[in-house]
A and B are shown apart, each in its own frame.
Chain A
C-alpha cells in the first residue's frame, strides 16, 4: 500500500498556513523571542562578530513555544473535535498519521524559524547596523541546522503530550515545560558547541573528524525517535478515543 505520510503532511502543512493555528503561535513566539532577546542584549551587548549566534539564540528561544503550539495544539484540537477519529477511519496506518503530523509541524517550525531569522536581519539593518558578512550568515545557517534537531524533538514531544493528556491546555503546558527545560539546557550547548568553537572557524575538516561536540544532536535525535515511537503506541492504544465514547 502506498504511504499516506506525504499526503497527510502536505495537507496539515498547507491547512495550518491558511488558518490561524500557525500564524498566531508564530507571532506569539516571535514576540516572546524579541522580548527575551532585548533583555539579553541589554544585559550583555553582542560584539559585531557574534550577532549570528544572537540570531540563533533568539530562534532557540522562540522555537519551543512555536513547536509546542504547532504540534501539540494542532494534534490536541484534532483529537478533541473528533477529526482524528475521522482520519483514522480512512485506511491509514497509525504510524502514518503520527509521522505525517510530525513532518508538517517540523516544516512549519522551520518555516517559522526562517521567518524569525529574516525579521531579525531586516530589523538589525533598519536599526542602522552594518550588514552581516558571509561568515556570520554561514554561522547562522549552521546554528539553524543544529537547532533543527531540537525542534524535531519538541515537535515529537508536543504530539506525544497531546495524546497523553486529555485536556488540550494541560497538554500544551506539559509540552511547553518539557521543551523549555530542554531549550535551557540546549541553549548552553548548541550555539556554543557549534557556533563558537570548531565551526566558528568554519574548519569543516576538524568538524568531520568529530572535533565539534555533537552530543546534543544525538540526544535530540534520540528524543525525537523515542517520542514518535511512544506517540504511535499511544495512538494505537485508542485510550485517547475513550474520552469521546458514548
Chain B
C-alpha cells in the first residue's frame, strides 16, 4: 500500500527549477535515501511532502491526504526533522517534547505514554531537565528524532539527519533509523550525502540531479559506492535524454 505518492512534482524558485516532474511512491516499511548534489532538490522535495511548501504543479499524497489541500492532516501524520535539527533552545528537553505533543493535539494520557516510550528508546531520561541549547549535536538529533516519533507518524521525513554528527554518532543514528521500533509500519525518507547511512539504513535509493529523478535503486549493492551509483545514474539519464532527442 502506498503511504507516499508523488506525481510529476514541479517547483520553481524564480527562474530556477528546484524540482522538474519528480514522481515516485513509497510503501510501509520502506526506508528511502534521497541522494544528490547540493541544490538537487532534496530539501524542496521533503518540504513539499511535509506540507510546508506547495508545488507549482503535480500532485502528492501522504497517508491518503493531499499535501496541498489537506496540509494540516498531512502534518498530523508526518514526522519532519529539518536540516540542522532546529529545536527551541529556551526549553528543557521534557518541556520541548511535551510542547510538541500539545501542538499535535495529542490527548494527555497518550502524550504521557508516548513521552515515556520515546525518552526510554532514545535514552533521554537523564537529560530531560537539560535546556535544549546545552545539548551536544548527537543529543539534539536524538531529541529531534524523539519529537518526530512522538505522535507515531505514518511517514518520517529526515533532512540530512547526520549534519553535525561525528562518525560514531552517525552510525548510532543509522542503527536507530533502521531499527524495527522506528521503521516498522511506516515509510522513512531521508536526504543525505553519507554513504554509510545509505548502506546501513536504506532499502531504496532515489537519485536527484537538478530537480530530476535520475535513479531509483534498490539500495546500494556491496561493491557499489554512492558516488559510483550517482555517476551511473547520471550517465544512464544523459543517454536516455540523448536517445529521446534523436
Contact = CB atoms under 8 A, between A and B. Distances in A.
Interface of A: 1-2, 4, 7-8, 11, 15-16, 18-19, 21, 81-83, 85-93, 238, 241-242, 244-246
A246 B42 contact: yes
Sorting the interface of chain B by its residue count into under 10, 10 to 19, 20 to 34 or 35 or more gives 20 to 34
Given A89-B75, A241-B53, A82 B90 contact: no
Given A15-B88, A238-B53, A245-B43, A82 B13 contact: no
Given A4-B103, A91-B76, A11 B86 contact: no
B87 interface: yes
Given A238-B53, A245-B47, A246-B39, A91 B86 contact: no
Contact of B80 (A89, A238, A242): A89
B88 A82 contact: no
Interface in B86-101: 86-91, 99-100
Given A82-B82, A93-B72, A11 B99 contact: yes
Nearest to A245: B43
A92 B90 contact: no
Interface of B: 13, 18, 38-39, 42-44, 47, 50-53, 72-73, 75-76, 78, 80, 82-84, 86-91, 99-100, 102-105
Nearest to B90: A15
Contact of B99 (A2, A7, A245): A7
Contact of A91 (B42, B88, B104): B104
Contacts of A2: 105
Contacts of B80: 86, 89
A82 B83 contact: yes
B90 to A, nearest CB: 4
A7 B90 contact: no
A86 B105 contact: no
Contacts of B100: 90
Contact of B52 (A8, A21, A85, A93): A85
A240 B14 CA distance: 14
Contacts of B51: 89
B91 A11 contact: yes
B38 A85 contact: no
Contacts of B39: 246
Nearest to B38: A246
Given A92-B75, A244-B83, 5 more contacts: A7-B103, A85-B82, A89-B82, A91-B105, A245-B13
Contact of A92 (B43, B88, B103): B103
B122 to A, nearest CB: 17
Contacts of A245: 13, 18, 43-44, 47
Contact of B13 (A21, A93, A242): A242
A11 B103 CA distance: 11
Contacts of A85: 52, 82, 86
B103 A91 contact: yes
